[in-house]
Structure 1
C-alpha cells in the first residue's frame, strides 16, 4: 500500500510490571501466537483480586495498581533486569529498592515499599502477582499494541497541547502512517520488521490516558477529547502475531 510503504517503527516499549514504567527497547523478537516479549509479566493487585495462578484468566485492570485507579504510581520509576530477574524501584523522596523477583521476602519488601509510597491511597493489601506465562493485559485480545504517532500529533494539534505518546502505553510506535488511518484496518495484516501481525481491533481508551506520565497528575481529559473531536474513543490497535520474527527500531511498518 503506497500510503504506508514509507512507514517505520519509531520506538519499542515493554511494561514488565503492569501499570509501571515503560522500558524502551531497540529490538524485540515476536513469536507467533504470543504476547510482546517482557510485557505485563507481573502485576500488583489491590486485593484480593481473585487471580488464580493455577487457572489464570483475564481480570479487570481496576483490581491492580494501574494509572486509571492510582495515578500516583506514574511517579514510581521501575527498571527490570531481565538477566537476574531483579526489579529496581525508585521515586523522589523515597529510598531506592532492588528486589529479586520470585523471592518471597524480597517481594514482601516491594509490597511494603509501595504501600508506604501510596499512603492513604493504598486502601487494600498490595500483593505482587506473577502470571507464570499469563499476561496481565487490559484486554485479552491485546497481544501486541501499536500506536500511530501521526494520530497522537493530530490530537495534540486540535487540543493545542502536547499529548505525550507514553500516555497510551503501547508496545510499538509507528511513524509515517496518515493520522487515524489505522481505525479502518480491523482484520488486515501488518508487516512489522520480519513479523506479520493481524489487526484485532482499535483500542478503546480509558482515564489512564488522562495522567501525565512524569508527574502523575490528571491534566488532560483525553477520553472526552477523542469522543468530542472524532466521535470515538480509539487510539492505537491491538494485534495478534501470525508469523514471528525480529522487530527493530527503524524497521518497516507496512499494511499488507
Structure 2
C-alpha cells in the first residue's frame, strides 16, 4: 500500500525545513506556513505585493550553505527558530526582526553574490517556485533509484518537497500529471513535473555540494526533473501513514 512517509514545510523560502506529523490543507492554497516568507536580495525586482519568481530571492541554488538550515515555527507567536551547523540558534519574528535575521545569515552568504536585504511576505500566498499555489511531492522509490544510479547515499531532503510518499513504482509519479491523488481526507491535482536546480547538489546536513544530481538526471534519465507539483483540489487533513490513492 502506498502511504505518506514524511511531511515538511519550509517557513522561509530557501532557509530551512520543519517536519510535521499532520497538516490541514485548504483548496487552492499552499501548505500552511510553507514559503510564508522569502528573502529578497539586492538585485531583486519584486516589491512584496504579489508572487514573484525565485530569481528574486536568496536560495540554495546560489548559496548551498542555506541547504543546511532547519526551522521551527511557533504559530501562536509568529516566530521562527533557525539552526545551522555553523551558526548559533536564532529565534525571531520575520515580519519585524529583519536585522537580526540578516546578521545571522550574512556569514553564510558567499562573496560576489547578491546579498540578502529584506524579507517579503505576500498575504494569503506562499512564495512557491510556481506561479500557482503548489504543494510538492516526491516518490521515495524514484529517490532510491537515483541514489543507486549515482552509487551514493542521498537524503530525500535535497528535494525540499512537502509530501514524501512510498509504495509506488520508480518514476511512476510522472504518469500522475493531470490526475488526482486522494491522501487522507484531502485531494490533490497533479499539475507538472519539478525541474531541478543546483540546490539539490548540496548536502542538507552540511550545506556543501557533494552530489551531482543534475548530471545524473540528465545523463542517465534524459531530463532534469524530480518530483511533481500539485494543487489542493479538495480540502482535508493529511498525516504520516495515510494511504495515497491515484484516482
Q: TM-score, normalised by structure 2?
A: 0.93
Distance 2:196 2:86 in 1: 32
User: Residue 43 of structure 1 contacts residue 129 of structure 1 at CA under 8 Å; is this kept in 2?
Assistant: yes
Instruction: Indicate the RMSD between aligned Cα atoms, in angstroms.
Output: 1.7
Q: Does 1:46 align with 2:37?
A: no
Q: Does 1:237 align with 2:228?
A: yes
Distance 2:101 2:154 in 1: 31
1:76 Cα offset (Å): 3.5
For residues 122-133 of structure 1, what are the structure 2 equivalents within 5 Å?
Answer: 123-133=114-124
Structure 1 residues without counterparts, runs of 5 or longer: 1-5
Distance 2:38 2:154 in 1: 26
Aligned residues: 247
User: Residue 71 of structure 2 contacts residue 82 of structure 2 at CA under 8 Å; is this kept in 1?
Assistant: yes
2:78 alignment partner, one of 50, 71, 85? 85
2:5 alignment partner, one of 7, 10, 13? 10
For residues 16-35 of structure 1, what are the structure 2 equivalents within 5 Å?
Answer: 16-35=11-30
1:27 Cα offset (Å): 0.5
Q: Does 1:181 align with 2:172?
A: yes
Distance 1:117 1:223 in 2: 23
User: Residue 88 of structure 1 contacts residue 98 of structure 1 at CA under 8 Å; is this kept in 2?
Assistant: yes
In structure 2, the CA distance between the partners of 1:67 and 1:173, relative to structure 1 (3 Å rule), is same
* 2:202 aligned partner: 211
Q: Report the more deviating stretch, 166-175 or 40-49.
A: 40-49
1:110 Cα offset (Å): 1.2
User: Residue 37 of structure 2 contacts residue 94 of structure 2 at CA under 8 Å; is this kept in 1?
Assistant: no
Provide Cα deviations, 1:216-243, integer angstroms capped at 9, x if missing partner. 1111111111111111111111011111
1:94 Cα offset (Å): 3.5
In structure 2, the CA distance between the partners of 1:49 and 1:196, relative to structure 1 (3 Å rule), is same
Aligned to 1:120, the other structure's residue is in SS state coil
Provide Cα deviations, 1:143-178, integer angstroms capped at 9, x if missing partner. 110100000001111111112110000100001010
Q: Does 1:69 align with 2:62?
A: yes
Distance 1:71 1:30 in 2: 30
Structure 2 residues without counterparts, runs of 5 or longer: none
Q: Does 1:160 align with 2:139?
A: no
Larger radius of gyration: 1
Aligned to 2:153, the other structure's residue is in SS state coil
In structure 2, the CA distance between the partners of 1:232 and 1:48, relative to structure 1 (3 Å rule), is closer
* 2:52 aligned partner: 58
Q: TM-score, normalised by structure 1?
A: 0.90
* 1:3 aligned partner: none
Provide Cα deviations, 1:56-84, integer angstroms capped at 9, x if missing partner. 0322x233221101011223333221121
* 1:100 aligned partner: 93
* 1:191 aligned partner: 182
Distance 1:220 1:93 in 2: 21
Q: Runs of 4 or more off by more than 4 Å in structure 1?
A: none
